[in-house]
Structure 1
Amino acid sequence: MAYKNLRHFIDTLEQAGELVRIKTYVDPKLEIAEITDRVSKSPDGGKALLFENTGTDFPVLINSMGSYKRMCLALGVSELDDVAGEIENLFKLLSKPKESILDKLALLPKLGQFASWMPKVVSGKGSCQEVVMANPDLSKLPVLTCWPKDGGPFITLPVIHTKDPLTGTRNVGMYRMQVFEKDMTGMHWHKHKVSAKHFMEYKKLNKRMPVAVVLGGDPVYTYSATAPLPENVDEYMLAGFLRKKKVELVKCITQPEIEVPADADFVIEGYVEPSEELIWEGPFGDHTGYYSLADWYPKFHVTAITHRKDAVYPSTIVGIPPQEDAWIGKATERIFLAPIKMTLVPEIINMEMPVEGVFHNLVIAQIKKDYAGQAQKVMNAMWGAGQMMFNKILVVTDDGTKITDYKQLAQYVFQHLNPASDIYLSQGPMDVLDHSCSKMGFGGKMCIDGTRKYEEEQDTTFISVPAPRQLDTAAIMQQFPEIKGINASLLPLDISCILVAVEKARPSHVRELNEQLYTLPALAGVKMILFVEHTVDVSDLASALWRFCNNLDPKRDSFIVRVPSGEPGKYIGGIGMDGTLKTRLLDNFERDWPNIIVADDATIRKVDTKWPELGIGPLLTSPSLKYKQQIYGEEAVVQQ
């Protein structure tokens, strides 16, 4: 369905029992984020929150897409897979041989639908331009400061419009914007992004780059800006397809080269001067759950701010998962399964991106396997596909298991895994927010082939032995005092993997410890050992895996072992992976290492005190309390 504006979506959320209005004053600096963090981590993502008293003329809507149900409401569907099914049907219809005139005529109505989804520029002004700020001033907007170590307030849901200066092709993307002055922000576009390519073209031409930033309107606009579309596909065509109604665009007032949705809540118009010096932007508490480090980015100069008379400021926070962005990622996972299947990986059955893997870090692909080496074929195809090039750990399995049941999936993968021959390590482009890479934007990748193996794929120099069902963890920790915790709870579940919390004290410590552990008869048959920092609570499996995935560079930090089996020429395979934080002293790691994102004590106390006035329900304790003790040991290494 097409929402008339953001207020229409708010009304829909309220009618569905998915919205809480908060009338008490809440400070956009840290307080709104802390309240939202508590709510978004409650069961099923809590509720959408409308903060009506922000100290400005505008309310703040947040967590509006922070659950499966609200994500479906935003896209106007009952199930996210409905969109994938519709896309798949379109692909089939368009690719079907047209053998007769009747076949061709049957396609005409669908072509008419395509035309009805294409964006259209209309004359005159839109409702997004009902009010024009005489002197544009970003301080008039309730821009959030989310976390205590953020570089400042950030616009977190900006739908950013740019055009290629040579072709006029529009791009609509989402890149955070740090507010530095009342009329100037940073423009955090990464080198891999289309807007950054447009910027480079303007730089070659020595020409000022017009930019427009939209906030609000139909929530489909926000989603479409995050979608991993090919460069030549207009994001507003996707929006038109999703809302079943074309997006009407109007020309900006001070940047008329750029068109924006007429029904948006806010439009921030301006420009980037390619010849101007860059600005030091950040740090920023990011979706990885860590602060992304400060770096140099272009300046965005504001020339006008326009808005609806009843404008609502939409925002989001990102941090330790789960957060609202996990559900936006879930929509992408479901919606883009069909295009991947139809154009790149025809054998794919399903795809899953676990929340703990924070998007690119961990992807599970299920395929229909028909021949040896097919998992590697899928690996190469997926790592070469758009934003999937940023994937760090890819797990490929077949139709013998259910990938949404993580216990069953893990049992199946480990049953069919020889860690010495079925794990493939590579290197390639990585998300610049991945702090584990030795070089920014370039690092290791891993594919775990958890499919059933054909004879050609089996390495007969390795034999499989049953993993232990339990371990005497106290004895192991007594033998290795640097080990501060062991989680062996997966072994009785037939998942041959343990987690080890280790306090590193010397270079190559984890590699050497891994080799020593694999010599223990008690660990014979354990296929995988995951090492994390000694401050991590390994009994909290989800949290430990989140920390592990973030801190691992698979190629640099993986140690395959060949343990003699006692049978001549035969070995038992195993692998250890170092998911600890890295330092210059112990790991020869030259980059800064960021901190985990947590709220400060003062904000936690303020929100605790204010909670009874909010009308949200019983007090929810701060999620930050869980991690505060864990990070104290890491604070000192941030600038090592």
Structure 2
Amino acid sequence: MARPFQYSPDIQSFMRLLESRGELLRVREPVSRDLEITEVADRLVKKGGPAVLFENVKGSDYPVVMGLMGTRERMALAAGVRDLDELAQKIRALIDLGGGGSKFGLLSNLPKLKDAMNLPPRRVQSAPVQEVVWRGDEVDLSKIPVLKCWPEDGGPFVTLPLVITNDPETGERNMGMYRMQVMSKNTTGMHWQRHKTGTRHLEKAKKLGQRLEVAVAIGGDPALIYAATAPIPPVPGLNEFAVAGYLRGQRYPVVRGLTVDLEVPANAEFILEGYVDPQEDWVVEGPFGDHTGFYTLPDLYPLFHVTCVTMRRNPVYPATIVGRPPMEDAYLIEASERLFLPAAQLIIPEIVDYHMPPAGVAHNLVVVSIKKEFPGQAYKVANGLFGLGQMMFAKVVVVVDENVKVSDMDAVWREVVQKAVPGRDTLTTRGPIDVLDHSSRGWGYGGKLIIDATTKRPEEIGSPKSSREGQAQDFAVDLFFPHPETNLPDFPGVLAQRQTADGYWFVALQKTRPGQARELAETFAAHPAADGVRQLLICDEQTDVNDPGDVWWTVLNNVDPERDVWNLPEGTGGLLAWDGTRKLPEEGFVRPWPPKIVMDEAVKRRVDALWHVWGLPEQWR
């Protein structure tokens, strides 16, 4: 398969490629790493703008580049394909080494086998990333322009780290992207969550009574940066270096660390070498404005000691920001969709396609289309997905027919209204939940919801009375609230509401007491105006009811489906109500509820004033 371009496998070559295509801006005037860079990068990515290189970062000798993979097109370039759909084709070709035992069958596999041979990394003796070395007291992380991204962040965070460890027992290599809060000139937090491979390596090191060596690469081939985020199947020999080598069509260059027995990317910009001591007390890390769009509150995590820093002679510091979607990580997630699709189809062959929309921040919503052949197949597929790697964290799975485009969320939600009767075609279960989910019933454990929005077989319909499937909906024009600005009688907390033409009612509620959302939902369900409505979404007061993406992002973050999604009136199959408000201690929720990420208004005004000083085009402001 011909490559759409060629560039050397490192960040700076990729930057030159983007600049030649008009997809990278340069800011030469001074800019602060404290919130200002975030505000600029956030505006650019949300408007589909170019990447940006900040050449003059206050307090640092090194420039910062942001947004390298901030569009679908740039993500495809980083992965070495013309389009992200081509990723699925490349992976499908790799895992399908069939052809039979004949001579001609074996010959037909030679091109695939040649690609597969590019998987192992290639050891080199010298590397650009070791041109400059800091050891011992020379190590000073404050000289590297690590960003403070959001106002309530606990400090500056490394946001694109490629964290490398080896299994202390087997020697198996792992690379993952775990955020790192800078704690001092030579220490950072290490955000190893309970389900991550780095945590398992640390636990093994503790049992063996030894420190765990760690190397952190910053920069390198964009394909490797992507691979560090990808849900790679647990296949022997298949790791992040292998995936990057396969995508690039050449073995990935690695070099041994100077002070750790770990192989690191030879073409990175910086390498932080050191260790984590499993015998040490963990340290408080956070808050952090996370990819959910909410702050992750402070918690205890291991401490990483940096004993050596190596770098290029003129390095660039690459970073990203996460927060309220859409963000740059949405395109990495989309690439992982394409990468994972062939493997998912290999295990669950009726899957046609799937999508994790930005409003679902990866793990809150998965839409999957299937070729349906028997009753109950939607539940079979959804439960199968829950058993596939990181899909175990999925909170809501919507299953649709094969002819539905899973990335067209308007079409998906219409299918839900027309084909999913609440109660009959919805199923609540439990399982592992991402530890960053603030609404789950327990840390890393909570409710899940399956919505079967496929065309029903006779066995699935039951009583004809309960099925309105396929009927055109003629929604009442006399809205429940006489005027959009009018509050519900006896419900002064309702600030805004909107009914859509396809059976949804969005409500923004200023919640002041326990049980308020449930009372609102039951009142609405009993009202004649609810007759044409299948889905009631109750949100917090910060939600824009005129923006469906904002509504779904808020609701999906704020519900534990087992606790907060109700079929009302009870047992009728008439209305599905979602309580997307914050949960109160009086409602049995004992953990602190995190705030949504909002940039400081003073920073916004400062960036507005400096936009043209920085030479940034008005269209991206």
Matched, 1:405 2:412: no
Find the counterpart in structure 1 of residue 608 from structure 2.
608
Aligned to 1:305: 309
Find the counterpart in structure 2 of residue 182 from structure 1: 185
Question: 1:451-466, aligned counterparts within 5 Å?
Answer: 451-460=454-463, 462-464=466-468, 466=473
The corresponding residue for 1:625 is: none
Q: 1:139 aligns with which of 137, 142, 145?
A: 142
Deviation at 1:385, TM superposition (A): 0.6
CA distance in 2, matches of 1:90, 1:69: 23
Residue in 2 that maps onto 1:241: 246
**Cα deviation code 1:513-540 (max 9, x no counterpart):** 2222111122124222111123423122
Who is 1:515 aligned against? 522
The aligned counterpart of 2:378 is: 375
Whole-angstrom CA distance in 2 between matches of 1:194 and 1:543: 33
Contact 2:498–2:546 (8 Å) recurs in 1: no
Per-residue CA deviation, residues 492-533 of structure 1 (Å, 9 max, x unaligned), is: 2xx222112223344323223222211112212422211112
Counterpart selection for 1:153 from 156, 179, 193: 156
Give per-residue Cα distances to partners, 1:26-74, cap 9 Å, x unaligned.
11111111111111111xx211000000132211010110001111111
Aligned-pair CA distance for 1:348? 0.9
Is the contact between residue 438 and residue 591 of structure 1 (CA under 8 Å) also seen in structure 2?
no
> 2:208 & 2:202 partners in 1: Cα distance?
10
Contact 1:482 1:504 in 2 (8 A): no
Measured against aligned partners, the alpha-carbon deviations of 1:269-304 in whole angstroms (never above 9, x if no partner) come to: 010001011110000000111100110000000011
Q: Distance in 2 between matches of 1:325 and 1:462?
A: 41
Q: Which amino acid in the other structure matches residue 484 of structure 1?
A: V
Match of 1:102 among 97, 104, 108: 104
Q: Is the CA contact 1:532–1:548 (under 8 Å) kept in the aligned structure 2?
A: yes
Is 1:14 aligned with 2:24?
no
Q: Is the 8 A contact 1:471 1:488 kept in 2?
A: no
Identity value in percent: 43
2:547 to 537, 540, 550: 540
Q: Distance in 1 between matches of 2:303 and 2:191?
A: 9
1:188-217 CA-to-partner distances (Å, cap 9, x unmatched) read: 010101111101100111101000000111
Quote the Cα distance in structure 1 between the aligned partners of 2:448 and 2:416.
Answer: 18
Which residue of the partner structure matches residue 360 of structure 2? Answer: 357
Aligned to 2:585: 584
**Equivalent in 443, 446, 468 of residue 446 of structure 2:** 443
Task: Tell me the SS of whatever aligns to 1:360.
Answer: coil
Residue 426 of structure 2 corresponds to residue 426 of structure 1: no
2:170 is aligned to 167
Deviation for aligned residue 1:111: 2.1
1:365-419: CA deviations, max 9, x gaps? 0111111010000011101111111111111001242223322222223211111
Task: Report what 1:50 is aligned to.
Answer: 53
Aligned-partner residue type, residue 307 of structure 2: T
2:275 aligned counterpart, secondary structure: strand
Aligned to 2:262: 258
Q: Distance in 1 between matches of 2:579 and 2:417?
A: 19
Residue from 177, 197, 201 that aligns with 1:194: 197
- Alignment partner, residue 212 of structure 2: 209
For 2:598 and 2:74, locate their aligned partners in 1 and report how far apart those are by CA, in whole Å. 26
Match of residue 3 from structure 2: none
Contact kept in structure 1, 2:211 and 2:277, CA below 8 Å: yes
- Once residues 38 and 272 of structure 1 are traced to their aligned partners in structure 2, the CA distance between those partners, rounded to angstroms, is 37
Q: How far has the Cα of 1:478 moved from its partner? A: 4.1
- 1:404 maps to a residue whose letter is S
TM-score (normalizing by structure 1): 0.91
Which residue identity does 2:583 align to in structure 1?
K
Q: Check whether the contact 2:150–2:597 (CA below 8 A) recurs between aligned residues.
A: yes
What aligned pairs does 1:381-400 form with structure 2 within 5 A after superposition?
A: 381-400=384-403
**Equivalent in 321, 326, 343 of residue 322 of structure 1:** 326
- Local SS of the residue matching 2:618: coil
Shift, 1:78, TM fit: 1.0
Deviation string 1:315-348 (CA, Å, 9 cap, x unpaired) is 0011111111111111111222122112x22111
Answering whether residue 531 of structure 2 is matched by residue 530 of structure 1, we say: no
- Taking a change above 3 Å as real, the CA distance of residues 369 and 160 of structure 1, as seen in their structure-2 partners, is same
**Unaligned ranges ≥5, structure 1:** 565-570, 622-640
Q: Distance in 2 between matches of 1:139 and 1:239?
A: 30
**Partner Cα separation in structure 2 for residue 596 and residue 48 of structure 1:** 25
2-side partners of 1:91 and 1:620: how far apart?
Answer: 42
CA contact (8 A) 2:355 2:406 kept: yes
What SS is found at the alignment partner of 1:277?
Answer: coil
Contact preservation (8 Å) 2:522, 2:569: no
Note the alpha carbon deviations across 1:248-278, whole angstroms, 9 max, x for none: 11100011x2001111111110100010111
Alignment correspondent of 1:555: 562
Q: 1:480, CA displacement in angstroms?
A: 4.3
Compute the displacement of 1:16 (Å).
Answer: 0.8
In 2, Cα distance between the equivalents of 1:109 and 1:47? 36
Partners of 2:289 and 2:529 lie apart in 1 by 42
| Alignment partners' CA distance in 2, 1:129 and 1:366 | 48
Cα drift, residue 487 of structure 1: 4.0
Residues in 1 aligned to 2:82 and 2:440: alpha-carbon distance in whole angstroms: 40
The answer on whether the counterparts of 1:519 and 1:563 sit within 8 Å (CA) in structure 2 is no
Q: Per the alignment, do residues 572 and 366 of structure 1 end up closer, same or farther by CA in structure 2, a change over 3 Å counting?
A: closer
Range 61-70 or range 477-486, more displaced: 477-486
AA matched with 1:3: S
Q: Which one is further off, 383-392 or 504-513?
A: 504-513
Q: 1:258 to 1:317 in 2, by over 3 A?
A: same
Q: Does 1:69 align with 2:70?
A: no
Show the counterpart of 1:567. Answer: none
Find the aligned partners of 1:59 and 1:340 in 2 and give their Cα distance: 40
Out of 494, 502, 509, which is 1:502 matched to?
Answer: 509
Q: Which moved more, 1:189-198 or 1:437-446?
A: 437-446
How far apart are residue 106 of structure 1 and its match? Answer: 3.3
What amino acid is the match of 2:592?
Answer: D
What SS does structure 2 have at the residue aligned with 1:133? strand
Compute the displacement of 1:572 (Å).
4.9
1:37 pairs, out of 30, 42, 45, with 42
1:112 Cα deviation after fit: 3.0
Q: Which moves more between the two structures, 604-613 or 207-216? A: 604-613
Q: State the superposition RMSD in angstroms.
A: 1.8
Correspondence for 1:90: 94
Partner of 1:633: none
Question: Number of matched residues?
Answer: 604
AA aligned opposite 2:301: Y
- Does residue 484 (structure 1) correspond to residue 494 (structure 2)? The answer is yes
Q: For residue 507 of structure 1, what is the amino acid of its counterpart?
A: P
Letter aligned with residue 466 of structure 2: F
CA–CA separation in structure 1 for the residues paired with 2:12 and 2:512: 56
Contact map agreement 2:93 2:112 (CA 8 A) in 1: no
Counterpart residue type for residue 134 of structure 2: M
